[in-house]
């Protein structure tokens, strides 16, 4: 009888936790719909017929390929190494869009890369050692790229104008670690988000944020704070973007970075997407590919339904 009672109690706790998770997700989505009138002036599309949100990709990846002391000590352009990484993890990139942070590649560099299965366009932005971002886009999707913007090797953004009158703004960012250095980058990101919102574009923002939304769960330093470490996170939320990993795993730590020779870990890499794609997320995963990239960051990926 005691065993039966213990099992029933355990089942009841599990059910309670599941209900709590669904309630949190429901409340989150409801908050997005109950925007005040001042914000709603930029959301006229809520009152218009919903367009077909079918997507032309089914997976997104983001990865910071820098980090190891061995690589940091090399005074060389990382574009060649980026090509090698594309080659070695290319099997992930058949029907997806991927992004890389801290590549040390110059702004003028960008080229086609072809493996045995597909062809990819690498769009780069760099501003010297320690900065650099890149978007790796398949040939199938690259034909829809119509506009590219970049900011000093800290952010790169492209617009994909797809059939069915849908435009997707894809942004890869690599924020500085110092708060004072983040201001200009975040202001640039805000401009891109405001433009996307006014023109009713769907948005994807991913990369290395060098900060976490909730230190209590996103860092292992015993912090109890649930306040965002950077204004970038409230900015993304105010533009109706959701944190893919946290939506899928409300209570998991999901650390993406670990300091060398230390126990310090955090979830500073993330993928944020328009909340209307929430029901299209099928999985969110972390992959340690240090042997390939010599990075102290894990690759973060999101799989989504095409239809």
pLDDT tens track for 32-68: 555 443 344 434 443 433 444 455 567 888 988 864 4
Buried b / exposed e along 215-244 (16+ C-beta atoms within 10 A): bebbbeeeeeeeebbbebbebbbebbbbbb
* Cβ atoms of residues 133 and 155 within 8 Å: yes
Residues in the chain: 307
Catalytic, 245? Answer: no
Where does 34-127 have alpha helices with state H?
Answer: 37-40, 69-72, 79-88
- Which position among 151, 174, 245, 255 bears the catalytic label? 174
Q: What is the pLDDT of residues 220-240, one digit of tens each?
A: 998 899 999 999 999 999 999
pLDDT per residue as tens, the chain (307 positions): 667 777 777 777 767 766 666 666 666 666 655 544 334 443 444 343 344 445 556 788 898 886 444 444 444 455 555 555 655 554 444 434 566 665 555 554 455 555 545 677 888 887 765 678 888 888 888 889 988 999 998 999 999 998 878 899 999 999 999 989 999 999 999 999 999 999 999 999 999 999 999 999 999 998 899 999 999 999 999 999 999 999 999 999 999 999 988 999 999 999 999 998 988 999 999 999 887 778 899 999 999 987 6
Q: Which of 63, 123, 239, 297 is catalytic?
A: 297
Whether 46 is catalytic is no
Token pair in block for residue 219: 């860092």
Binding-site residues for Mg(2+), please?
208, 210, 296-297
Annotated binding-site members: 208, 210, 296-297
Distance CA 8, CA 12 (A): 6
Long-range contact set of residues 43-51: C-beta below 8 Å, sequence gap at least 24: 43/197, 43/240, 45/200, 51/164, 51/165, 51/166
Q: Which is catalytic among the residues 208, 218, 240, 243? A: 208
- Residue 218 annotated in active site: no
- Reported pTM: 0.76
What gap in Å lies between CA 121 and CA 152, rounded to an integer?
Answer: 20
């Amino acid at each position: 009888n005691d065993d039966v009672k213990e099992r029933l109690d355990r089942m009841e706790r599990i059910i309670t936790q599941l209900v709590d998770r669904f309630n949190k997700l429901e409340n989150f989505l409801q908050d997005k719909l109950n925007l005040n009138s001042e914000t709603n002036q930029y959301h006229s599309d809520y009152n218009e017929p919903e367009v077909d949100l079918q997507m032309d990709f089914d997976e997104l990846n983001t990865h910071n390929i820098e980090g190891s002391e061995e690589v940091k000590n090399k005074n060389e352009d990382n574009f060649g190494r980026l090509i090698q990484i594309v080659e070695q993890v290319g099997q992930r990139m058949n029907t997806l869009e991927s992004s890389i942070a801290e590549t040390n590649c110059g702004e003028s560099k960008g080229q086609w890369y072809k493996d045995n299965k597909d062809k990819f366009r690498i769009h780069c932005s760099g501003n010297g050692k320690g900065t650099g971002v890149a978007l790796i886009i398949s040939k199938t999707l690259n034909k829809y790229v119509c506009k590219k913007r970049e900011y000093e090797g800290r952010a790169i953004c492209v617009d994909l104008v797809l059939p069915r009158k849908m435009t997707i703004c894809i942004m890869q960012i690599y924020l500085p670690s110092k708060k004072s250095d983040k201001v200009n980058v975040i202001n640039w990101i805000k401009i891109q988000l405001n433009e996307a919102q006014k023109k009713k574009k769907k948005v994807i923002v991913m990369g290395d944020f060098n900060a976490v939304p909730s230190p209590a769960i996103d860092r292992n330093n015993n912090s109890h704070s649930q306040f965002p470490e950077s204004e970038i996170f409230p900015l993304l939320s105010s533009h109706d973007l959701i944190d893919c990993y946290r939506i899928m795993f409300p209570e998991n730590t999901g650390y993406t970075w670990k300091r060398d020779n230390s126990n310090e870990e955090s979830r500073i890499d993330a993928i944020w997407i328009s909340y209307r794609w929430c029901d299209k997320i099928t999985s969110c995963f972390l992959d340690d590919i240090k042997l390939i990239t010599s990075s102290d960051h894990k690759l973060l990926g999101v799989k989504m339904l095409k239809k």
